[in-house]
Amino acid sequence: MPIMEILSQNAKMYGQETCLTEINLDLQDSHNVTWREYELIENNPAGEYRRDMTWRVFEEKANRLANLLLKRGIKKGDKVAILLMNCLEWLPIYFGILKTGAIAVPLNFRYTAEEIKYCLGLSETMALIFGPEFIGRVEMIYDQIPKVKTLLFAGENRPSFSENYDRLTANCSSKAPEITLTDEDDAVVYFSSGTTGFPKAILHTHQSLMSACYTEHNHHGQKREDNFLCIPPLYHTGAKMHWFGSLLSGSKAVLLRGVKPKWILKTVSEEKITIVWLLVPWAQDILDAIESGDVKLEDYDLAQWKLMHIGAQPVPPSLIRRWKKYFPDHLYDTNYGLTESIGPGCVHLGTENIHKVGAIGIPGHNWEVKITDENGCSVNQGQVGELVVKGPGMMKCYYNDPEATAAAIKDSWLFTGDMARMDEEGFIYLVDRKKDVIISGGENLYPVQIEDFIREHNAIKDVAVIGLPDERLGEIAAAIIELKPGYKCTEEEIKSFCAPMPRYKRPRKIIFDEVPRNPTGKIEKPRLRDKYGGSSLVAIQTER
């Protein structure tokens, strides 16, 4: 069944219960403020703000938008884009689009004006709903996107080239439109991370969305009494598909705007959060804050917090060992996925397998997995090959890109581009992205393995290993190292620390710099290659 039916069921059964809470703990920073919050700042000297929404209101808001879009001629199969920061309106807008039979097109809030224009054109979007943070970017391109006939502005001080979302939806019926949809109908277009150029448009059906619900609920067993803390951006599949477990169980969730350790712990404590999904940098920041004394765990009531899980990038085993030192009773899970597989869950560790930390896990609920060579044949146990998956959450295609689709989907299997190996117990270990493998003197170097080793150093906050050109070896491994605040380290210290590694794996360049990550926590290695990959390196700072 289409996912909107779950929302409608929850509205009938739990209509007066709160389903979503939006919390902003830093209203003094106007960049973090949604349009609903501006008028409350003067009356809230503490700089804090929260809003709640019930299941009934969620359903009604979705229905009002759906009816507005239908009045504007949006029909089944048309595309409607969302360009908003995380806020209480985000999910009702998403579901309202789906209720029309149209296809939701979430956009990355970091896109430039040119990237927004490109994605709207590639997806053939006909309507755009955007917030105040994006006025400048949309103003630069609105007259260059002729297919976008409807521009709805969700905020105060509406720009002249758009219409008021709030006013128009308030005048529409709150009853669900009568649109017949099946699991096979197209539902959403998500965009790839776009780290190697403009992103690809990834088309999913309603079956994909429902499969994400069942996979997430099977893996983490959300119950009615749970409360999920959602921090990552909702435009990405990761955050939303984990929230789908809350949707399926009819349980609460909190949208926290901000990632400071104190904010996360305060919210977990005061909102009685039971499940938190973190990205690696945020978990590191929490641990660093604890170890530096910046936060004291005894100041928070965290007894009900039962599960912490991480996804979106390889998780260093050292990080989880540190985490368990301070949170010994937490269940832990690693989730692997990609936008093409409707986000996390096609592989997961499982809370019962914490002894296998370092692995990304075993095939997820209803998923199949194999590791193949360059010819698509399965490799022997222990050998490195490309991770290939198959399941009900696979993308339908790269929209308007049959060549890329044919390269990614072969014989109903999705080729992930990630290199992996499987141990004797069937657990899968991610080795690296296929395109990130470094070939040095004929040897394959897998950056993730080197990064995991270097992260064991107690002065290191983050590390990224990339290949740099070398006349003799073709490429050499360079480690870009970000130190913890207040720590100092030299190139010789790092090289001495790496001495136990096989000689060919040791990084030959040590660069002290910040490690850039995108909003979903993935290291932006193309940026580092652009910065350091030229024929002549900039002067390298060896201490900071």
For residue 526, the model assigns a pLDDT of 79
Q: What percent of the chain has pLDDT over 70?
A: 90
Which residue's structure tokens are 């470094």?
A: 438
User: Taking all residues of the chain, what is their mean pLDDT, rounded to a whole number?
Assistant: 88
pLDDT at 438: 84
Confidence at 538, pLDDT banded by 50, 70, 90: very low
Q: Per-residue pLDDT averaged across 400-412, rounded?
A: 94
- Report the range of poorest mean pLDDT among 26-30, 65-69, 135-139, 257-261: 26-30
User: What's the per-residue H, E or C state across 429-493?
Assistant: EEEEEHHHCEEECCEEECHHHHHHHHCCCCCEEEEEEEEEEECCCEEEEEEEEEECCCCCCCHHH
CA distance to 203, 338, 469, per residue, from 532 (Å): 35, 28, 10
Q: Which bin fits 178, alpha (ψ -120 to 50), beta or left (φ > 0)?
A: beta
Name the amino acid, one letter, at 13: M
Alpha-carbon span 126 to 123, nearest angstrom: 9
What is the mean pLDDT of the segment spanning 166-179?
Answer: 95
How much is the pLDDT for 442?
61
List residues bridging with 338 in a β-sheet: 343
For residue 513, what pLDDT is reported? 92
Please give the pLDDT value at position 312.
65
Q: What is the rounded average pLDDT of the residues 359-384?
A: 93
User: Which element (helix H / strand E) includes 288?
Assistant: helix 280-292
Q: CATH topology for 4-258? A: Rossmann fold (3.40.50)
CA pair distance 209, 293, nearest whole angstrom: 42
State percent of the chain over pLDDT 90.
68
pLDDT at 29 over 50: no
Least confident residue range of 86-90, 325-329, 425-429, 497-501: 497-501
Candidates 232, 343, 248; CA nearest to 281 is 232
CATH topology identical between 306-433 and 437-532: no
Residue 159 corresponds to which tokens in the numbers above?
A: 């720009």
Selected residue with higher pLDDT from 450 and 60: 60
- The superfamily (CATH) of domain 437-532 is ANL, C-terminal domain (3.30.300.30)
DSSP string, 147-197: T--EEEE-SSS--TTSEEHHHHHHTS--SPP-----TTSEEEEEE---TTS
- Of the pLDDT bands very low, low, confident and very high (cuts 50, 70, 90), residue 456 is confident
Give the residue-averaged pLDDT of 466-482. Answer: 84
Q: What is the pLDDT of residue 520?
A: 64
State how far the Cα of 52 lies from the Cα of 524, in Å rounded to an integer: 35
User: 262-311 pLDDT, tens per residue?
Assistant: 999 999 999 999 999 998 888 988 999 999 999 999 999 999 999 999 87
Question: Which amino acid belongs to residue 285?
Answer: D
Confidence of residue 124 (pLDDT cuts 50, 70, 90): very high
What is residue 304's predicted lDDT score, i.e. its pLDDT? 97
Give the residue among 54, 409, 346 at the shortest CA–CA distance from 208: 346
* CATH code reported for the domain at 306-433: 2.30.38.10
pLDDT tens digits, one per residue of 81-110: 999 999 999 999 999 999 999 999 999 888
Q: What residues does each domain of the chain span?
A: 4-258, 306-433, 437-532
> What is the pTM assigned to this prediction?
0.83
For residue 324, count other CB atoms closer than 10 A to its CB: 15
128-138: average pLDDT: 96
CA distance 20 to 218: 22
For 40, 56, 132, 541, the CA distances from 36, given in Å and listed in that order, are 8, 20, 11, 45
